[in-house]
Structure 1
Amino acid sequence: MSDNESDLFKAAMGEMGGVKRIRPERRVDLKKEAPEKASLKARREAATAMTEQELNPLSGEFVEQVDPRDPIEFKRDGVQNGVYRNLRLGKYTVDARLDLHNHSVDRARKALFEFVRDCLDADIRCALITHGKGEGRQNPALLKSCINHWLPQLEEVLAFHSAQKQHGGMGATYVLLRKSDKKKLETLERHQKRLK
């Protein structure tokens, strides 16, 4: 086709209107397609959940229901019976308190984990958690049941028992925490001096 014919062809096509140039399709995608918004959101939520689980190991799995009037109790192997008895009887000084009234389960879970971590940082051995009995509620003793489920999951918790009446009775729990490494060393040094 000569240049003159080519020009006549282009002019004729332009006059017809509605004629569009056909662009060849690419056989290889050169640009990465953006993921769908829902897929991106799901991946972000999964990453956040995983990070939260790593930061707070307390499980949100099935929690066995506890009666509002029943005591909750736990003792790790190695905890002396006398130590546990003193905890149960409220003979240890309560150095820290956590009140979970009006907390949702998720908020209570976060607060409990942070509270135990803060107690360890401050070398606190005995703490009191007030959770209420939850009597007369649609889900009675929900937070109490969660506390009973969560505390054994924390290695720092050596023992716990429902509190004495003057500290909240069945609506509160004494928690005995392990000694920090600093306190263990101080105790060891004190005992070694006594032996000399």
Structure 2
Amino acid sequence: MANEDLDLFLQEMSGVKRLDADVLADENGAGAPTLAQLARRKAAELEAEYDPNYLSMEYVDLVKPDDVLAYKKDGVQEGVYKNLRLGKYQTDATLMLLGKSLVEARSALSQFIRDCHQRGIRTLLIHHGMGRDSKPHPAILRSYTFKWLQQIPEVLACHTALKAQGGYAATYVLLQKNAEQKRENRELHQKR
């Protein structure tokens, strides 16, 4: 069967000639990037290389001031998420974003999450406000905060806080364990 296929293939290819060059070049150079395109590419590479803050300032799905913010990564146990939602975990650190511009809030949130993760702090409370009177759209900072929390790899889950801890103006955040905590946990539960 394989010999028949090979014979058929060779028969079909009998009149085909090899090309002189492997690459066809456009004589006009129309396919080459322009100087402006090269400059933009270089600028984008430099920005991506030096910007430690990868959180997007692009389009955001707007949430209403009284929408419940709820996010959970796959693999987070339902019981853990339920305890977070119900405020049963002690919040070990709080960040106040009220009154900050989006750029300031983005930077502060990124740095805060990074610091807390390095220190082994697992449960946070972010105060972003409800944004009823924010212009041009209500809850703009709240919307971006929710979007950014979902982009940060260390964030396992987040949920709107209980009324006593800020309600719609605040969000609980659960971070994953850092490397040291994971090592301790492995040692604790290691079978001997």
Q: What's the TM-score, normalizing by structure 1? A: 0.73
Q: 1:128 aligns with which of 122, 125, 133?
A: 125
Aligned pairs for 1:14-29 within 5 A: none
- Residue identity (%): 50
**Structure 1: distance between partners of 2:142 and 2:87:** 18
Note the 1:49-60 alignment, pairs <5 A.
Answer: 50-51=47-48, 54-60=51-57
How far 1:49 sits from its partner (Å)? 6.9
What is the CA–CA distance in structure 2 between the aligned matches of 1:99 and 1:107, rounded to whole Å?
A: 11
Aligned CA distance change for structure 1 residues 52 and 106 (closer, same or farther; 3 Å) = farther
Matched length: 153
- How much has 1:51 moved relative to structure 2? 4.8
Residue 142 (structure 2) aligns with: 144
Which of the pair has more CA radius of gyration? 1
1:35 alignment counterpart: none
Listed as ranges, the matches of 1:43-82 within 5 Å are 46=43, 50-51=47-48, 54-82=51-79
Per-residue deviation, residues 33-77 of structure 1 (Å, max 9, x unmatched): xxxxxx9xx88x937971577411101110111000011110000
Does residue 99 (structure 1) correspond to residue 87 (structure 2)? The answer is no
* Structure 1 residue 188, shift from structure 2 partner: 1.4
- Change beyond 3 A, Cα 1:53–1:82: farther
Amino acid at match of 2:75: G
Higher helix share: 1
* d(CA) in 1 for partners of 2:121, 2:110: 14
**C-alpha separation between the residues in 2 aligned to 1:98 and 1:48?**
31
Q: 1:144 to 1:49 in 2, by over 3 A?
A: farther
Q: Secondary structure at the match of 1:129?
A: strand
Gaps of 5+ in 2: 1-35
Matches within 5 A, 1:105-184: 105-138=102-135, 139-184=137-182
Q: In structure 1, what is the equivalent of residue 29 of structure 2?
A: none
RMSD: 2.1
Secondary structure at 2:99 match in 1: coil
CA distance in structure 2 between the partners assigned to 1:52 and 1:142 by the alignment:
28
- Once residues 116 and 49 of structure 2 are traced to their aligned partners in structure 1, the CA distance between those partners, rounded to angstroms, is 20
2:189 counterpart SS class: helix
* Structure 1 unaligned blocks of 5 or more: 1-38
- TM-score scaled by structure 2? 0.74
Amino acid at match of 2:126: I
* Deviations 1:71-105 (CA, angstroms, capped at 9, x unpaired): 11100000000000000000001011100000000
Cα deviation for residue 136 of structure 1 reads 2.6
CA separation of 1:84 and 1:69: change in aligned 2, threshold 3 A: same
Amino acid at match of 2:131: G
Give the partner amino acid of 2:107.
K
Moved over 4 A (4+): none
SS at match of 1:184: helix
